[in-house]
Amino acid sequence: MASEQKPVLYSYWRSSCSWRVRIALALKNIDYEYKTVDLLSEQAKSDLKAINPTAKVPAFVVNGQVLGESLAIIEYLEETHPEVPLLPKDPIKRALARQIALLVASGIQPLHNLKVLQILNKKEAGFGGQFAKQFVVEGLTALEVLLKEHSGKYAVGDVVTIADLNIPPLVYSANRFNLDLSAYPTVNRINATLAEIPAFIAAHPDNQPDTGLNA
């Protein structure tokens, strides 16, 4: 029987959702092939659609099977590579880690993604940013409350969890919107702590094969 093929990650350097998966892959020390999808190219998105019906990154291909949606990919990695766990053992803490991940991945990111900004800016110049900022601020405010209550060194306790994988991409987006982050000290503290971890450095948008594409 042939050995397992190297998995493939369809990614874009500045995609928040790809970034989350890159962190999980790096933390779990999983080798993979990086395939760039230029999200600003209609042809590239059309090609991607043949692989992932939502035409979104990330798409993760393992033994010919395509998986989409960042948190589903991360849960798959967690179940198949349980070394370096990204979920606590306690059921309530697991739920809190997933809640924080979803607060960002489902409650904030979808409202400031590229397509939303494009549609709203076409309606009126600047409206996209105005709309998005409102949800980023609201989400950061809720996140700060949850982190104040549940964080230790990291988002939920003292070990990195799936929750933490969502924080650097969120802060990065907030900075792109020029938001004042001084009201979120716990978010900032955890983000700064995460920024020192080699896997988080390796997964950062600045350190990808396609860094700077369309910058």
Residues that bind a copy of itself (CB under 8 A): 53-56, 62, 65, 67-69, 71-73, 75-76, 79-80, 91-92, 94-96, 98-99, 101-103, 105-107, 109-111, 116, 119-120, 123-124, 127, 131, 134, 138-139, 141-143, 145-146
Least distance from C-beta 146 to a copy of itself, angstroms?
Answer: 6
Collapsing DSSP to helix, strand or coil, 44 comes out as helix
Least distance from C-beta 215 to a copy of itself, angstroms?
Answer: 26
**Which lies closer to a copy of itself via its Cβ, residue 62 or residue 171?**
62
**Which lies closer to a copy of itself via its Cβ, residue 133 or residue 210?**
133
Distance CA 130, CA 214 (A): 23
Collapsing DSSP to helix, strand or coil, 65 comes out as strand
Q: Residue 84 has which token pair?
A: 């370096």
**Which lies closer to a copy of itself via its Cβ, residue 45 or residue 213?**
45
Least distance from C-beta 122 to a copy of itself, angstroms?
Answer: 11
- Asked whether the CA dihedral 39, 23, 32, 3 is positive or negative, the reply is negative
Q: Residue 175 has which token pair?
A: 């900075």
Closest residue by Cα to residue 136 from 95, 107, 93: 107
**Which lies closer to a copy of itself via its Cβ, residue 66 or residue 197?**
66
Least distance from C-beta 120 to a copy of itself, angstroms?
Answer: 8
Least distance from C-beta 145 to a copy of itself, angstroms?
Answer: 4
Within 8 A by CB and 6+ apart from 174, the residues are 136, 140, 181
Closest residue by Cα to residue 44 from 12, 9, 7, 19: 12
**Which lies closer to a copy of itself via its Cβ, residue 2 or residue 215?**
2
